[in-house]
């Protein structure tokens, strides 16, 4: 009891010295720090606002679209003609074209992407890997409008010379889909390769030790272990294909067309949005509202694919060590 008393007296005598000797340890309010933290939180919340904004704006305009007496949700989802001028709003031709181009894209990107991933992670020497990987990354960095140009000026003439220009129209879903596959290939291969490389070395060594060939190790041991990651890569690839705009806007043709013929032109959902909004569309017309309805459909599809692939990875990830 005596010592603090002495201190208090001392502090009265020399307050400056006392401050140096015994700092106030209580937590001081730091307004600057709290302000900064608040600002940073707002930055983080911008992403939430973006999502909410997408859902709200798309939902609001889509509701206006369905509020139009000519349009009902059932007809929208089941009718096979999209001709706003005569009041036909069936989204199936657009969805069908999207599915066709995505199907062709995945036909290219899945086998080739997985093949390239297995080659790079299991076969290639570090040196070959070092040269091949950057090339694939360049492929991934090419803007999609360039791929669209490539589809129209290279792939379409190629297809026309193979199948005959009578059967293949200038704008067709096959050409757009194939080039889209080339565009997605690096994405699939790099994600699959990450999954394959994450499999621990001990598994490979064990397989080799049992006398398996390199192929048997890769296909029967490494591939199953990395399966969740590879499937996730495929799903992300599909989602990219569905959301891709420029290639289909340039090469797949304009004008909704319900066809299963890959050599004919057909407009995809994204292509439709690009064409309608590219012209000077006036606000609050069925045309304007329809791009929001279709955009909402697109958003829902791609978002569920993304979430599904994330779940898949988390659920089925093989955990080692």
Partner 1 sequence: MKTNTTLHPVDQPLEMRHLTARVWKSFFFLSTIIAITALTALLLSIINQSFGYVVIENKVQPAAVAPQPLETLPPESLIEILRSSLNRNRIRAIERQGLLVERSQAELFALVMENIIRPEVVASYNLDQSLFNRRSIEAAAAEKYPHGALEFRSWLNRGFLLNAMNSKPELTGVRGALIGSLLLILITIAFALPAGVGAAIYLEEYADTSTRINRVIQANIDNLAGVPSIVYGILGLAIFVRGMEAVTSGAVFGVTDSNGRTVLSAGLTMALLILPIIIINAQEAIRAVPKSLRDASYGLGGTKWQTIWNHVLPYALPGILTGTILAISRAIGETAPLIVVGASTLLTQDPSGPFSKFTALPVQIYNWTSRPQAEYRHIAAAAILVLLATLLSMNAIAVILRNRFSRKSL
Residue 94 to residue 273: CA distance in whole angstroms = 10
Residue 101 to residue 196: CA distance in whole angstroms = 28
Confirm or reject binding of residue 277 to partner 1 (CB under 8 A): yes
- Counting Cβ atoms within 10 Å, is residue 22 exposed (0-12), middle (13-18) or buried (19+)? exposed
- Nearer residue to partner 1 within complex by CB, 100 or 196: 196
Residue 259 to residue 266: CA distance in whole angstroms = 7
Confirm or reject binding of residue 20 to partner 1 (CB under 8 A): no
Stretch that binds partner 1, among 10-18, 71-79, 84-92, 138-146 (CB under 8 A): 138-146
Stretch that binds partner 1, among 47-55, 71-79, 87-95, 256-264 (CB under 8 A): 47-55
- Nearer residue to partner 1 within complex by CB, 159 or 274: 274
Confirm or reject binding of residue 299 to partner 1 (CB under 8 A): yes
Enumerate residues 235-274 that contact partner 1 by CB under 8 A. Answer: 236, 239-240, 242-246, 249-250, 270, 273-274
Instruction: For the chain, give the number of residues.
Output: 321
Instruction: Assign 89 to helix, strand or coil.
Output: strand
Q: Least Å distance between CB 260 and partner 1?
A: 24
Confirm or reject binding of residue 123 to partner 1 (CB under 8 A): yes
Residue 206 to residue 208: CA distance in whole angstroms = 5
Binding mask 92-121 for partner 1 (x = CB under 8 A): -------------------xxxxxx-xxx-
Stretch that binds partner 1, among 6-14, 66-74, 211-219, 257-265 (CB under 8 A): 211-219
Residue 147 to residue 139: CA distance in whole angstroms = 10
Binding mask 54-93 for partner 1 (x = CB under 8 A): x--xx--x--------------------------------
Q: Check residue 284 and give left, alpha or beta (phi > 0: left; psi -120 to 50: alpha).
A: left
Q: Which one of residues 8, 10, 19, 51 is an interface residue with partner 1 (CB under 8 A)?
A: 51
Q: Considering only CA atoms, which of 189, 162, 161, 156 is closest in space to residue 174?
A: 156
Cβ(82)–Cβ(63) under 8 Å? no
The two structure tokens encoding residue 14: 């020399």
The count of C-alpha atoms lying within 13 angstroms of the C-alpha of 149, restricted to the half-sphere facing its C-beta, is: 5
Confirm or reject binding of residue 136 to partner 1 (CB under 8 A): yes
Q: Which one of residues 211, 260, 315, 319 is an interface residue with partner 1 (CB under 8 A)?
A: 211
């Amino acid at each position: 009891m005596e010592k603090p008393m002495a201190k208090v007296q001392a502090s009265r005598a020399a307050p400056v010295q006392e401050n140096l000797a015994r700092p106030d340890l209580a937590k001081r309010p730091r307004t600057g720090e709290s302000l900064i933290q608040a600002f940073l939180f707002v930055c983080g919340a911008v992403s939430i606002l973006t999502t909410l904004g997408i859902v709200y704006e798309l939902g609001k305009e889509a509701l206006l679209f369905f509020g139009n007496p000519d349009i009902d949700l059932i007809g929208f989802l089941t009718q096979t003609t999209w001709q706003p001028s005569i009041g036909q709003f069936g989204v199936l031709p657009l969805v069908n074209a999207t599915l066709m181009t995505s199907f062709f894209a995945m036909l290219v990107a899945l086998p080739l992407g997985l093949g390239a991933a297995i080659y790079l992670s299991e076969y290639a020497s570090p040196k070959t890997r070092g040269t091949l990987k950057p090339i694939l990354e360049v492929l991934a960095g090419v803007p999609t409008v360039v791929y669209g140009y490539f589809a129209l000026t290279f792939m379409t003439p190629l297809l026309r010379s193979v199948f005959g220009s009578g059967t293949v129209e200038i704008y067709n879903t096959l050409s757009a889909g194939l080039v889209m596959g080339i565009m997605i290939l690096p994405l699939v291969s790099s994600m699959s390769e990450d999954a394959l490389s994450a499999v621990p070395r001990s598994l490979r060594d064990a397989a080799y030790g049992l006398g398996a060939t390199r192929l048997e190790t890769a296909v029967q041991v490494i591939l199953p272990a990395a399966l969740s990651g590879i499937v996730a890569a495929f799903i992300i690839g599909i989602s990219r294909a569905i959301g891709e705009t420029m290639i289909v806007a340039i090469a797949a043709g304009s004008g909704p067309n319900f066809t299963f013929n890959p050599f004919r032109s057909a407009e995809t959902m994204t292509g439709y949005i690009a064409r309608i909004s590219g012209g000077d569309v006036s606000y609050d017309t069925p045309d304007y509202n329809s791009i929001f309805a279709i955009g909402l459909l697109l958003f829902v599809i791609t978002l569920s694919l993304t979430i599904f692939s994330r779940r898949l990875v988390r659920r089925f990830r093989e955990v080692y060590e």
